[in-house]
């Protein structure tokens, strides 16, 4: 009987093992099904790809101390070089090559401490000697750059304490000084044997060595190709290359986009907005920019002496419908302005004195001043003089359209305006600097520190200064002088608030609007963000996060937005995509 019993036990044991194994398989299958249902496949940003931007113009000097006269140069230089500081989207000064700085109690010494992980593109470390060398170029009598930049640095004493510490001693306190330390630093070891007189002829301006996030690989009249710098201390970008491609006008740039040659178009002009907006593949980004469009009046004009009359200037201001100008001429790409400060500036008083469109009140003021239409031709006159003057505008399509609209509006109150378009260089050199104009449409940069001394202080009304309006007001002078010496921001703000009211009362210029910067980018490019811009090159502030390539990633359901997954694309739908995808999901 022993053998049958053992056989029966073995049979029962095998059946029990089969049951256990079956249960295990069932449980594992259920787990796998549950696990599969708990995960999603998503596309996330991947490295690689090239962004090609269309720009109008071309490069001359990819050099941070020579780039100020050409926007293309400034844009490229911003990606190739670094300054001690940079400005955030509110215009505040923040660290860049410098990690920190100290200001002496008397406000005359600024000491900067440099980071220890900054390197030139050729591998050498950035040092305080490079900072001193750059300032030396700016201080040279032969420096060919902006005169105002040279004047600012001319009397600054530079002291190098060690490789990472440098100080600037000012002859007197100057509160806006910090805003000027964002100028790009030059490599002393590369340029120390190049005389300042020869700087504009140097090959360095075509293939420079900087310390910024990108390296110039190729450069000619048609394009500039940049690659990310492996030595840059900041965030590494997804893109493997950024290319600037140059065109004569934005019409050419748009045709190039339609042919698939470029990925985006910089600074879209108002006259091309409707065409860009109608594109099914372009995404339009808009942001405020620290610029201010004004009609500058020559208070000492020999041909239009009536512009020296404050009441008449008020009438001209009341006769301007700035909102209509923005709506109809700029297609909404602007914000009406009321003061000589940036729209985001802490110096701007939002409740300060301002003017609304009131042609009836403008007519009353002109009537009271004796300007009447005596001969019935629609234009006012007084003592045989017609109320007529010339408005100079840059020879650009959008500027001419703005000028014509201003002339149309003023004609409704009996003022005749001849709009004359001239090349920009001629406008500045032959008219503004020579004080040979009645009125001029100007686009002012109001970036950085709000100090408007060089534009409105009476000392700058002399030849060589930039007070082209010949504005003279003793109270305004005192406020501008005190504000640039005052280190306390709240006290400076009160001074600028008062100056703003004086400006509105006197109207040496008529504020029109703050332009809006428009950037058109192909829909296949993701991660683009456009916040308030201090300068046009601030459109690159989010550049490290731009991407055109994707990779597949399996993530637990509900964790798509978890930290560490990078920039997630929409959940993957097609099952035929490989591990890496270029362009839009599914494209």
Note the pLDDT tens digit of each residue in 65-101.
Answer: 999 989 999 999 999 999 999 998 888 899 999 999 9
Q: Provide, rounded to the nearest whole percent, the portion of the chain with pLDDT above 90.
A: 79
298 shares its domain with 326: yes
Residue 22 in any domain: the answer is: no
Q: What are the angstrom distances between the C-alpha of 12 and each of 6, 15, 25? A: 10, 5, 20
102 shares its domain with 152: yes
The four Cα atoms 526, 523, 224, 142 give a dihedral, to 10 degrees, of: -70
Residues 296 and 305: their CA atoms lie apart, in Å, by 15
Q: Provide, rounded to the nearest whole percent, the portion of the chain with pLDDT above 70.
A: 88
pLDDT tops 60 at residue 14: no
Please tell me the predicted confidence (pLDDT) of residue 31.
46
pLDDT tops 90 at residue 26: no
Residues 393 and 406: their CA atoms lie apart, in Å, by 11
Residue 249 in any domain: the answer is: yes
Residues 89 and 290: their CA atoms lie apart, in Å, by 10
Residues 525 and 569: their CA atoms lie apart, in Å, by 12
Domain holding 166: CATH number?
3.90.76.10
395 shares its domain with 312: yes
62 shares its domain with 199: no
218 shares its domain with 126: no
Residues 307 and 297: their CA atoms lie apart, in Å, by 7
470 shares its domain with 381: yes
Please tell me the predicted confidence (pLDDT) of residue 148.
84
| Low-confidence winner among 144-148, 243-247, 299-303 (lowest mean pLDDT) | 144-148
Average pLDDT of the residues in 222-245? 97
Residues 532 and 516: their CA atoms lie apart, in Å, by 9
Residue 29 in any domain: the answer is: no
pLDDT digits (tens, 9 = 90+) for 532-561: 999 999 999 999 999 999 888 877 766 554
240 shares its domain with 150: no
Q: Looking at 158, 173, 204, which one is the last position of a domain?
A: 204
50 shares its domain with 184: no
Confidence of residue 11 (pLDDT cuts 50, 70, 90): very low
314 shares its domain with 420: yes
Please tell me the predicted confidence (pLDDT) of residue 569.
43
Average pLDDT of the residues in 313-335? 95
Average pLDDT of the residues in 238-252? 96
198 shares its domain with 224: no
pLDDT digits (tens, 9 = 90+) for 102-149: 999 999 999 999 999 999 999 999 999 999 999 999 999 999 998 889
pLDDT tops 90 at residue 190: yes
Residues 6+ apart with CB under 8 A from 96: 82, 83, 84, 85, 86, 182
Query: What range defines the domain where residue 242 resides?
Result: 38-80+212-263+524-587
Residue 46 in any domain: the answer is: yes
Q: How many domains does the chain have?
A: 3
Q: Looking at 174, 204, 234, which one is the last position of a domain?
A: 204
pLDDT tops 60 at residue 381: yes
Average pLDDT, the chain: 89
- What is this structure's pTM? 0.83
Please tell me the predicted confidence (pLDDT) of residue 90.
80
How many beta carbons lie within 10 A of that of residue 581, not counting itself? 20
Please tell me the predicted confidence (pLDDT) of residue 572.
34
């Amino acid at each position: 009987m022993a053998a049958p019993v053992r056989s029966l036990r073995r049979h029962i044991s095998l059946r029990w093992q089969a049951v256990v194994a079956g249960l295990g398989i069932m449980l594992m299958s259920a787990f796998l099904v549950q696990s599969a249902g708990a995960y999603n496949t998503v596309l996330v940003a991947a490295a690689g790809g090239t962004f090609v931007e269309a720009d109008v113009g071309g490069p001359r000097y990819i050099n941070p101390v020579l780039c100020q006269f050409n926007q293309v140069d400034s844009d490229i230089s911003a990606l190739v070089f670094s300054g001690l500081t940079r400005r955030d989207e509110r215009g505040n000064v923040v660290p860049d090559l410098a990690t920190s700085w100290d200001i002496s109690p008397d406000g005359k010494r600024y000491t900067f401490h440099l980071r220890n992980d900054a390197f030139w593109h050729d591998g050498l470390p950035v040092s305080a000697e490079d900072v001193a060398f750059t300032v030396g170029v700016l201080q040279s009598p032969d420096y060919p750059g902006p005169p105002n930049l040279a004047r600012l640095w001319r009397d600054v004493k530079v002291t190098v304490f060690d490789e990472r510490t440098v100080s600037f001693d000012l002859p007197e306190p100057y509160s806006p000084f910090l805003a000027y330390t964002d100028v790009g630093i030059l490599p002393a070891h590369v340029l120390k044997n190049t005389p300042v007189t020869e700087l504009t002829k140097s090959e360095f301006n075509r293939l420079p060595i900087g310390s910024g996030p990108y390296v110039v690989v190729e450069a000619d009249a048609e394009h500039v190709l940049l690659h990310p710098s492996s030595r840059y201390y900041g965030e590494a970008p997804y893109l493997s290359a950024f290319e600037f491609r140059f065109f004569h006008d934005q019409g050419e740039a748009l045709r190039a986009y339609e042919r698939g040659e470029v990925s985006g178009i910089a600074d879209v002009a108002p006259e091309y907005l409707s065409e860009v907006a109608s594109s099914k593949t372009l995404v339009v980004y808009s942001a405020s920019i620290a610029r201010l469009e004004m009609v500058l009046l020559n208070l000492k004009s020999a041909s239009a002496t009536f512009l020296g009359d404050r009441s008449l200037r008020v009438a001209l201001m009341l006769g301007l419908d700035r909102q209509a100008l923005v709506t109809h001429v700029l297609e909404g790409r602007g914000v009406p302005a009321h003061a000589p400060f940036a729209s985001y500036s802490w110096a701007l008083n939002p409740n300060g004195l301002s003017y609304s469109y009131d042609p009836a009140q403008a007519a009353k003021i002109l009537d009271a001043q004796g300007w009447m239409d005596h001969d019935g031709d629609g234009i006012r006159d007084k003592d045989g003089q017609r109320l007529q003057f010339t408005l100079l505008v840059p020879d650009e399509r959008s500027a001419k359209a703005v000028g014509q609209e201003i002339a149309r509006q003023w004609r409704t109150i009996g003022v005749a305006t001849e709009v004359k378009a001239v090349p920009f260089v001629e406008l500045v050199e032959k008219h503004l600097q020579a004080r040979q104009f009645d009125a001029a449409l100007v686009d002012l940069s109001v970036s950085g520190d709000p100090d408007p001394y060089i534009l409105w202080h009476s000392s700058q009304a002399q030849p060589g200064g930039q007070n082209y309006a010949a504005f003279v007001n003793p109270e305004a002078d005192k406020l501008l002088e005190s504000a640039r010496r005052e280190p306390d921001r709240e006290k400076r703000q009160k001074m600028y608030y008062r100056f703003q009211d004086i400006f509105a009362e006197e109207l040496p210029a008529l504020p029109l609007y703050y332009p809006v910067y428009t950037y058109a980018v192909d829909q296949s490019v993701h991660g683009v963000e456009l916040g308030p811009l201090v300068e046009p090159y601030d459109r690159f502030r989010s550049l490290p996060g731009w991407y055109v390539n994707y990779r597949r990633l399996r993530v637990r359901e509900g964790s798509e937005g978890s930290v560490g997954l990078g920039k997630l694309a929409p959940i993957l739908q097609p099952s035929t995509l490989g591990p890496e995808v270029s362009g839009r999901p599914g494209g």
